[in-house]
Structure 1
Amino acid sequence: MSDAAPVSYRVRPRVWIGLAIWVAYVLLVYVVQLLAGVPYTDLGKNGGTLFLGAGLSLIIGTIFLAVTASLLGWWRPALFDRQHSHHRWPIFVPAVMVVALVINLLSTDWASYDGGFFAASIVLLLVGFTEEMTTRGLLLVGLRSRLSEPWVWFITSAAFGLMHLINALSGQSLGLTIQQVGLAFLGGTVFYILRRTTGTLIWAMVLHGFWDFSTFAVGHGTPGPLAALAGAINLIAGILGLIVVAFTFRGVSERTAVPAAHETTEKAAA
């Protein structure tokens, strides 16, 4: 998008609002999953456990985020940057992640799938919308009201990683959860790079959704011999992301721009 007129908001972006949305989403997911009673380690057993343990919270989370974005008037800045990053070549990093995703799909034991598990797996695609909208969408909009873009990248990626800590409360071992948090930080960096190089969060939503779909798919049944390679390539993508992410926020300011009329109204009300 071009750096044209400032966006008009129903509610002016604030850091605390973005953080509050993140906290609310994490708590919502945790409570829904807790009430469903499906341990994290049992999610992939069958279609029923996958839907109750993950899909249901994603559906409710999608509704919550859509309503929140509408009430705040933050849809446009959550989904689109005012400018692409000056350097577009870092897009090769998410392309490496796509390679890992394809290997996952090629390594999946599709014969082990039944209709119920496939349907529940499709619902998992919503994770691309919910987790991206929460972190690199609404939280990002709030952070940009006060912070420079390097901090926006770091905090949104850290928030994305930390939201996975609830998996330890749902039955996953603490060691595996901490490892997952670190990998999610790297993955968040890849998704951030995709947003900055394309100028929109939509492609990050798509890649994120299909990545999670592919990881559950390859873990069902007996994976092919190349399955481990996908994890290694994904790790490489995350490391490369850390190396090149600085190029995506050089020379471009994405700080929240508020119309002068909006600022005048706020000052008059103060």
Structure 2
Amino acid sequence: MPSTPPAPDARKEPAFPVRITSRPAAALVTLGFVVVLPLVLLAVSTVLPGTDGSPLGSQDALVRQAVGDGTALVVVAALVSLLGGWRSVVAEPRTRSRWGVVILVGYAVLAAATFTTPLRPGSGDYLGALAVAVVAVALVEELVYRGVLVVGFRRALPEWVVWLLSTASFALTHALGQGLDGLFQVQMTFVLGSAAYLVRRVSGSIVGPVVLHVLYNAVQGFRTQTADGVPAVLSAATVLFLFAAAVVGLVLAIRHPRDDRRA
């Protein structure tokens, strides 16, 4: 069945950054957001002591993470407002992908099943802090990597390059300060980024990637509070579906590109 073309009014304003008319300049300004987010988080970490280590390591670390990402969200939102193009950042016409939807629904079901695993006593406060932190992290990171970077790079680059740069930037940012010990985390972050790209394309909204990101991080934090760990079969199946979503994200970028290159 042929794809339904988007309605003529699906986008009512030019693509971000609206106030930059040159395509190469738009891409360069967009690239600057890769630096802005880590710098803001670094600045907050110098004010709030004890931010070393995994943000999932303790309740206090989660609270500090939420404060840092909340601050970054305000800064990024102000910059997007200044440059113009909010609608293009947060929404786009949906791309049809039945396999993508099936795989994403499968991942969501398996991830949700993780939360049925019995918990250790006294986990309530940690889980409350986890809920706040994962929402703050997902909002700011998806706004930057699946919002600003995807739309801004589209002004000058082919879609598969947009996929690669936005996803790789997301993964490499998480490598800062991790060393070789964080290699697995970087790889999984790349997979998550590609899956989140898929969600943006099939949902047509930045809300979809935020939900996926929240779910992924919530599962990681929840695992640390389980009494006997998450069943191995459930963990393996969840990761497998996430990898499948990442592959479909790449295929979508190659086979169903968008053309937002405009002056």
Shorter-chain TM-score tier: 0.7 to 0.9
Q: Are the equivalent residues in 2 in contact too, given 1:30–1:166 (CA < 8 A)?
A: no
Distance 1:98 1:74 in 2: 30
| Structure-2 residue corresponding to 1:49 | 61
| Structure-2 residue corresponding to 1:217 | 222
The yes-or-no answer on 1:76 pairing with 2:81 is: no
1:86-235 correspondence to structure 2 within 5 Å: 86-107=96-117, 109=119, 111-115=121-125, 117-124=126-133, 125-168=135-178, 174-220=179-225, 222-226=227-231, 228-235=232-239
Per-residue CA distance 1:147-184 (angstroms, 9 max, x = gap):
1111111111111111101241xxxxx33311111111
Distance 1:84 1:50 in 2: 34
Aligned length: 249
Distance 2:233 2:141 in 1: 25
Report the Cα offset of residue 20 of structure 1.
Answer: 0.4
Q: Are the equivalent residues in 2 in contact too, given 1:19–1:139 (CA < 8 A)?
A: yes
Q: Name structure 2 gaps, 5 residues minimum.
A: 1-5
Structure 1 counterpart SS, 2:258: coil
Report the Cα offset of residue 42 of structure 1.
Answer: 5.5
The yes-or-no answer on 1:240 pairing with 2:244 is: yes
The yes-or-no answer on 1:30 pairing with 2:35 is: no
Question: What amino acid is the match of 2:34?
Answer: W
The yes-or-no answer on 1:64 pairing with 2:75 is: yes
Q: Are the equivalent residues in 2 in contact too, given 1:164–1:181 (CA < 8 A)?
A: yes
Q: Are the equivalent residues in 2 in contact too, given 1:58–1:126 (CA < 8 A)?
A: yes
Report the Cα offset of residue 133 of structure 1.
Answer: 0.8
Report the Cα offset of residue 32 of structure 1.
Answer: 2.0
Instruction: Please say which of residues 27-36 and 60-69 is displaced more in the overlay.
Output: 27-36
Report the Cα offset of residue 16 of structure 1.
Answer: 1.0
| Structure-2 residue corresponding to 1:261 | none
Q: Are the equivalent residues in 2 in contact too, given 1:78–1:137 (CA < 8 A)?
A: yes
Q: Are the equivalent residues in 1 in contact too, given 2:89–2:206 (CA < 8 A)?
A: yes
Per-residue CA distance 1:25-58 (angstroms, 9 max, x = gap):
0222233234423354364454223212x11111
Per-residue CA distance 1:87-116 (angstroms, 9 max, x = gap):
34312232233134213322261633243x
Structure 1 counterpart SS, 2:225: coil
Question: What amino acid is the match of 1:7?
Answer: E
| Structure-2 residue corresponding to 1:7 | 13
TM-score by length of 2: 0.83
Distance 2:215 2:127 in 1: 13
What CA RMSD, in Å, does the superposition of the two structures yield over aligned residues?
2.5
Q: Percent identity?
A: 20
Q: Are the equivalent residues in 2 in contact too, given 1:183–1:235 (CA < 8 A)?
A: no
Q: Name structure 1 gaps, 5 residues minimum.
A: 169-173, 259-270
Distance 1:27 1:224 in 2: 35
Structure 2 counterpart SS, 1:32: helix
Instruction: Please say which of residues 56-65 and 231-240 is displaced more in the overlay.
Output: 231-240
| Structure-2 residue corresponding to 1:253 | 258
Distance 2:252 2:218 in 1: 27
